[in-house]
Amino acid sequence: MNNTLKVPEAELYYEVRGSGPLVVLVGAPMDADSFAPLADLLAGDYTVLTTDPRGIKRSTLDPGGTSRPEQRADDLARLIRHVDAGPAVVLGSSGGAVTVLALAQQHLDAVRAVIAHEPPLDRLVEDGDELLARSEKLMADYLAGDAVGAWQQFFQLANLGVPDEVVEAMFSGERDPQQVAAERFWFSHEMRETITWMPDVNKLRAARVVVGIGADSVGQLCERTSEALAGRLGIEPSRFPGGHTGFADQPEVFADALRAELKVLHQPR
Which tens digits make up the pLDDT trace of 182-232?
Answer: 899 999 999 999 999 999 999 999 999 999 999 999 999 999 999 999 999
Say what percent of the chain tops pLDDT 90: 90
CA distance 41 to 247: 11
Inform me whether the pLDDT recorded for 1 exceeds 80: no
Three-state DSSP string of 221-247:
HHHHHHHHHHHHHCCCCEEECCCCCHH
- Separation of alpha carbons 218 and 67, rounded Å: 29
Q: What percent of the chain has pLDDT over 70?
A: 99
- Judged against a pLDDT cut of 70, whether residue 39 lies above it is answered with yes
Residue 25, helix vs strand vs coil: strand
Residues near 44 by Cβ (< 8 Å), separated by ≥ 6? Answer: 18
User: What value does the mean pLDDT take over residues 259-266?
Assistant: 92
pLDDT band per the 50, 70, 90 thresholds, residue 103: very high
pLDDT 10s digits, 142-169: 999 999 999 999 999 999 988 999 999 9
Any idea where the domains of the chain sit in the sequence?
Answer: 2-125+196-265, 128-192
Residues near 112 by Cβ (< 8 Å), separated by ≥ 6?
A: 87, 88, 89, 208, 265, 266
Q: Which CATH number fits domain 2-125+196-265: 3.40.1160.10, 3.40.50.1820, 3.30.930.20, 1.10.3720.10?
A: 3.40.50.1820
pLDDT score, position 48: 98
Helix (H) or strand (E) holding 177: helix 177-185
Residue 269, pLDDT > 90, answer no
pLDDT band at 50 (very low <50, low <70, confident <90, very high): very high
